[in-house]
Structure 1
Amino acid sequence: MIIPGVPVALQRKYEPVARIVAIVAGVLLAGSAYLPWAYSGDALDDVSYLGGPSFLQFVILGFGLGLTALMVCSIRFSQGIGRFRIGWIRGAKALATGALIAMVVIVAAISFELGGTINVMYGGWIATVLALLAFVATRFMITELDPDLNTAKTPAWLGILAIALIMLVVLFTAYYALDQSDPGTFVTFGIYAGTVVVVLLRTGAMGWLTSVSSKHRRVLILSAFIVAFLFPFTQGGSQANMSIATQVLIFAATAMGLNIVVGLAGLLDLGYIAFLGAGAFVAAMLSESAFATIGWHPPFIVTMLISGCVSATLGLIIGSPTLRVSGDYLAIITLAFGEIFRVAMINLDGTDGPDLTHGSNGIPGVPGLNLFGFDFSEEHTILGFQLGMYSNYYFVLLVLVAVVILIFSRLNNSRIGRGWVAIREDEKAAEAMGVNVFGLKLFAFASGAFLAGVAGSIKAHHDISVTPDQYIFLESAFLLAAVVLGGMGTVLGVLIGATLLRMMPEKLRFVNEYRLMIFGLLLVVMMRFRPEGLIASERRQLEFHDEDEQLAERIEEERHDAGEAEGVPAGTEEVTR
């Protein structure tokens, strides 16, 4: 990296000195974790002890040691190890940047929580100065090594072990993040986690992990399901944490349905929350609530299917006359549909229309689910672990998300999915090649709406009450942001995006007035530096980085290797295409 305004010759001259400074700063930064950072233990996770680091201080210790190791490797293995070129310096820069941001946030949190910077002890200032010194030193390193670990020949046992370790880290990260009630600790830990991800990306390790995961996809899916299943057992019966977790799963299942509409078919839908609301209202009206407006109370399985079908019917009704337009016009129409749905639910109060929803009061008192004699509203003890109401809903939603992922994956890999992608890329060209454009667009709208309606039927029992004000445009915007942020057309990306956008507002309530502004800024930064999303598909990577010849060659080699592994002769894929 070349620093603007600084001659390259000057950077090259001081680069050896900068390496040594960065190594020394990394060692001292690790040692600063044993110093007190605050006068009182009331700030963060008690960083006031001398010689007794807290968890946050231990992470800074790890950052310091990691920075030192990467810098030593950049000197010792300046040309890489063997035939791999590893981005040691890129990783070191990311670690130094993350450490500096984390220390600034820590100092600000201590000052805010204890009442002034005077409460920051010498250890906190020393760690901040060392992080700044490491940051400046790494900026003088202009040697950029392109990480390329994707073609590494990895033994099967090592790949499986790496997947298992990643899943354990994910489980611990989710447990620790949800367990934090202190805002400063949560934000700092989020910066730590984000820095680790950036380091993996910059060093090329993330590409290697992606390659390993694709080779052992079944192991990855099984490990992810086991980790998700074990998550409630790590919460100690906490209702608050499990409530957030269930909201994340509801949001994720709904976002997966929107991913079909936006990510695959390329239809910009700004009123998608209406389908979730339709499913929730249908479930509430058919429930055994004292305020239910329909006298028929079928089993929940039947109610869930009816909710999905009603939402799909709404999708067909709104889609039939409007899907002949596209782009901005379709976005405006769907935005209007979302508002029409909310106003219509308010008017179904018995005065302006039939009494189906009780107007703005909605339908309260929706009872908990009862499936096959299992009461979801009661606490249960399994293997000595206490599981509350939200834990029960969590397991049901976990099954729902698994089914939604299965449906999405099958559709994505089918002829229908290829038709959707063709429509998204060039609707006129797809129509010229014989693709039933209108039929596939309508099917995308209806199938996405069906999945949202099913999720809404569970949400009604989870939230206990259903009101029109729960389904406003802002919720549609968050759903769309989750799809775009995570990576359109991918499963893992949407799950990550939904998790971030649903969990962050719950943990950032201390900045309630500014959290939307913070989200907006983060999205702007994200779209500037990684427009394809956190987890991008190969096609999206090539769309946004078409000038990256190395990326195109690597993707083509992976496709070629996959074709040979399946017994397809080289070049057959292109001919078939």
Structure 2
Amino acid sequence: MRIPNLPESFTSKHAAKGWPLGLAGVALIIIGSFLSWSYDDQILGDLSLNFYPGGLQILAIIGAVIGLLLLLTAKGPLESRIGPWLDAALGLRALGLWMLIYMVLVLVAITTDSDGLINVNPGGWVSFVGALLLFLGARVVPLREHRDLAAARAPGWAEVLAIAVVMAGVLFGAAYALGRDDAWSFVLFLVFAAGVIAMMVRTGILTWFGHVAQRQKKILTLSAFLVAFLFPFTQNGSDANMSIATQVLVFAATAMGLNIVVGLAGLLDLGYIAFLGSGAYVAATMSQSAFATIGWKPPFLVVVLLGASVAAVLGLIIGSPTLRVSGDYLAIVTLGFGEIFRFSMFNLDGNNGPNLTNGPNGVPGIPDLEIGSFNFGATHTIAGIDLGRFSNYYFLLLILIGGVILVFARLNDSRIGRGWVAIREDEKAAEAMGVNVFGLKLLAFSVGAFLAGLAGTIKAHQDGAVSPDQYVFLESAFLLAAIVLGGMGTIAGVLLGATILKLLPEKLRFFSEYRLLLFGLLLVLMMRFRPEGLVASRRRQLEFHEEDEELAVAIEHELVEEAK
């Protein structure tokens, strides 16, 4: 989010006031954060104590410290060392704006939760005034010419340290966000995180980190999986938070499969949830549940392969006759397939057809997995931390999503992946160049379905029950939204989009029926201001911003760096 710049004549006239105003704002934010913000100690994690900052007050202090560093870089001791590389003034403007939004929302939250603005204590007003002064001061801090930070090269150990710091921030940020019990605290954390990210974008730090990530791909990948592995140890055995985390991983693994179909091959599939459901039903009907309808009880590894294979066969069955059409017609056909699958699960109840699924009752009472002597339903203690059943499934899903990412990355970089991209860009041109269009489309459908079936077999045991109403069209729409929101054809984008789409509705239950309205509004704004997605591929960025010459030059520079 940004607001128009002030006229240059006004900025130059009041430039001398920007630095002292900013310093005063930083000081007031910190002072106010050590004072009580709220009279009511039952809201927002208790902000009613003096000289004992709560979680939201600590976030304000962190934001103020970042603002202080930017001020010292714009005009101060750090100006000669970091100033030539860092666009500190633009970063300060972004941070000042978001800190003001943060404090305004804090006052709104206190007013809403405690029934009156009178319940805001003096510390809240002091920090609000500080945020306002920081915002005003940042608006008149003069902009300076600076070098391209993306071209800056740091020693290898410094780049590894930067990755470690960012990954540690992600770990603690995720732990803090999931630990918020009320929606307002969660929303305020998101606003603070958005402010920090906006600051990093405007200063050029995020661009520099992107180049570091390209140079240190292996270390970044290992760090990301290490953070994901350590996450359950930050939750103090909370089954509620780990339940959300496992849902996110199932959703992300399924979305990664759909990303092959939509993101790489460009085939609009609106019935993809059926492939997840087919894998889940295979696992349920072969489980040890008293309601299972198939007498054969093979080991789980066999069930996983069977569930994924059944989903892949369904992908071939639906793909063979329908991939002759494209665009809107393909979307309608796949939507129909999703509904056919759901109604088929209703009708396979012994009355309208063979008794395979128990009809609308589904298959309840699915027991927890047991692989060898390891029971996924039991609590295990590691390093003094209790890990419950959801933590156990989390680790299993983490292994699954690692395999899914590996498959996606290898396919994307292969000749097959390039063929899919060619089909997505121009099917007729790809066919004219000798690409087997129909075969590659069919392969995309079957591989995507196979990955969804894998996730479905684990989901059945994690949920403990399977029923047809779990696999409605809205779930397919959410999967598609995760890909578009995160960035089509990318790995990090889909993971981020899936996390947002699963996490936000769960944590915003406080807003009751308005949460989907707010959520939809966020999606609309996202599609308006960043249609290429949060973590877009360079190709899609150029498609949506063809007129941006600076972006084209930056991408050309990145390609040269990668070639080296």
Please, what TM-score do these two structures have when normalized by structure 1?
0.93
Partner residue of 1:498? Answer: 498
Partner residue of 2:407? Answer: 407
2:95–2:195: 8 Å Cα contact kept in structure 1? yes
Partner residue of 2:448? Answer: 448
Partner residue of 2:515? Answer: 515
Q: Specify the SS of the correspondent of 1:543.
A: helix
For 2:4 and 2:550, the matched residues in 1 are separated by 26
Whether 1:47 and 2:47 are equivalent positions in the alignment is yes
Q: Specify the SS of the correspondent of 2:150.
A: coil
- 1:35-68 CA-to-partner distances (Å, cap 9, x unmatched) read 2110122111211122221221122122123223
Offset of 1:8 from its aligned partner? 4.5
Structure 1 residues 437 and 204, CA gap change in structure 2 (3 angstroms): same
Structure 1 residues 237 and 267, CA gap change in structure 2 (3 angstroms): same
Partner residue of 2:546? Answer: 546
Offset of 1:168 from its aligned partner? 1.4
Whether 1:530 and 2:530 are equivalent positions in the alignment is yes
- 1:480-515 CA-to-partner distances (Å, cap 9, x unmatched) read 111111111111111111111111211111113011
2:258–2:480: 8 Å Cα contact kept in structure 1? yes
For 1:122 and 1:181, the matched residues in 2 are separated by 25
For 1:88 and 1:52, the matched residues in 2 are separated by 31
- 1:217-246 CA-to-partner distances (Å, cap 9, x unmatched) read 111111122221122122221111111111
For 1:146 and 1:412, the matched residues in 2 are separated by 37
Partner residue of 2:332? Answer: 332
Offset of 1:451 from its aligned partner? 0.3
1:272–1:476: 8 Å Cα contact kept in structure 2? yes
For 2:143 and 2:488, the matched residues in 1 are separated by 33
The one-letter code matched in structure 1 to 2:353 is G
Partner residue of 1:574? Answer: none
2:6–2:139: 8 Å Cα contact kept in structure 1? no
Structure 1 residues 468 and 144, CA gap change in structure 2 (3 angstroms): farther
Partner residue of 2:470? Answer: 470
Identity among equivalent positions (%) equals 57
The one-letter code matched in structure 1 to 2:550 is Q
The one-letter code matched in structure 2 to 1:63 is G
For 1:221 and 1:129, the matched residues in 2 are separated by 42
Partner residue of 1:149? Answer: 149
Partner residue of 1:362? Answer: 362
Whether 1:188 and 2:155 are equivalent positions in the alignment is no
Whether 1:132 and 2:121 are equivalent positions in the alignment is no
Matches within 5 A, 1:141-290: 143=143, 148-290=148-290
Offset of 1:141 from its aligned partner? 5.6
The one-letter code matched in structure 1 to 2:174 is A
The one-letter code matched in structure 2 to 1:240 is A
2:72–2:79: 8 Å Cα contact kept in structure 1? no
Structure 1 residues 356 and 156, CA gap change in structure 2 (3 angstroms): same
1:105–1:188: 8 Å Cα contact kept in structure 2? yes
1:30–1:63: 8 Å Cα contact kept in structure 2? no
Structure 1 residues 206 and 5, CA gap change in structure 2 (3 angstroms): closer
Structure 1 residues 142 and 340, CA gap change in structure 2 (3 angstroms): farther
Offset of 1:371 from its aligned partner? 0.8
The one-letter code matched in structure 2 to 1:269 is D
2:260–2:408: 8 Å Cα contact kept in structure 1? yes
Offset of 1:393 from its aligned partner? 0.7
For 2:262 and 2:392, the matched residues in 1 are separated by 31
Offset of 1:446 from its aligned partner? 0.9
Offset of 1:10 from its aligned partner? 3.3
Offset of 1:127 from its aligned partner? 1.9
Structure 1 residues 400 and 22, CA gap change in structure 2 (3 angstroms): same
2:84–2:145: 8 Å Cα contact kept in structure 1? no
Q: Which moved more, 1:298-307 or 1:78-87?
A: 78-87
For 1:313 and 1:199, the matched residues in 2 are separated by 48
Partner residue of 1:97? Answer: 97
Partner residue of 1:571? Answer: none
Q: Specify the SS of the correspondent of 1:290.
A: coil
The one-letter code matched in structure 1 to 2:187 is V
What residue ranges of structure 2 are gaps of 5+ in the alignment?
Answer: none
2:282–2:307: 8 Å Cα contact kept in structure 1? yes
For 2:382 and 2:11, the matched residues in 1 are separated by 62
Partner residue of 1:433? Answer: 433
For 2:79 and 2:230, the matched residues in 1 are separated by 43
For 1:23 and 1:555, the matched residues in 2 are separated by 37
Offset of 1:79 from its aligned partner? 9.2
Partner residue of 1:351? Answer: 351
Offset of 1:544 from its aligned partner? 1.8
Whether 1:32 and 2:41 are equivalent positions in the alignment is no
Partner residue of 2:385? Answer: 385
Matches within 5 A, 1:474-485: 474-485=474-485
Q: Which moved more, 1:34-43 or 1:401-410?
A: 34-43
Q: Which moved more, 1:483-492 or 1:347-356?
A: 347-356
Offset of 1:78 from its aligned partner? 11
Offset of 1:27 from its aligned partner? 2.6
Offset of 1:383 from its aligned partner? 3.3
1:23–1:72: 8 Å Cα contact kept in structure 2? no
Structure 1 residues 431 and 77, CA gap change in structure 2 (3 angstroms): farther
- 1:142-195 CA-to-partner distances (Å, cap 9, x unmatched) read 738677322111100001111112111111112111122122222211211222
- 1:258-292 CA-to-partner distances (Å, cap 9, x unmatched) read 11111111111111111111111111111111101
Structure 1 residues 2 and 199, CA gap change in structure 2 (3 angstroms): closer
Structure 1 residues 196 and 10, CA gap change in structure 2 (3 angstroms): closer
Q: Specify the SS of the correspondent of 1:386.
A: strand
Structure 1 residues 394 and 431, CA gap change in structure 2 (3 angstroms): same
Partner residue of 2:398? Answer: 398
- 1:191-218 CA-to-partner distances (Å, cap 9, x unmatched) read 1122211211111111111111211111
For 1:455 and 1:80, the matched residues in 2 are separated by 53
Q: Which moved more, 1:185-194 or 1:292-301?
A: 185-194
1:38–1:48: 8 Å Cα contact kept in structure 2? yes
Q: Specify the SS of the correspondent of 1:381.
A: strand
The one-letter code matched in structure 2 to 1:103 is M
Structure 1 residues 147 and 202, CA gap change in structure 2 (3 angstroms): farther
Q: Which moved more, 1:138-147 or 1:496-505?
A: 138-147
2:31–2:126: 8 Å Cα contact kept in structure 1? no
Structure 1 residues 467 and 215, CA gap change in structure 2 (3 angstroms): same
Please, what TM-score do these two structures have when normalized by structure 2?
0.95
For 2:545 and 2:135, the matched residues in 1 are separated by 28
- 1:81-107 CA-to-partner distances (Å, cap 9, x unmatched) read 689543212211221122122112211
What residue ranges of structure 1 are gaps of 5+ in the alignment?
Answer: 566-577
Offset of 1:407 from its aligned partner? 0.2
1:269–1:331: 8 Å Cα contact kept in structure 2? yes
1:23–1:71: 8 Å Cα contact kept in structure 2? yes
For 2:303 and 2:163, the matched residues in 1 are separated by 39
Structure 1 residues 227 and 8, CA gap change in structure 2 (3 angstroms): closer
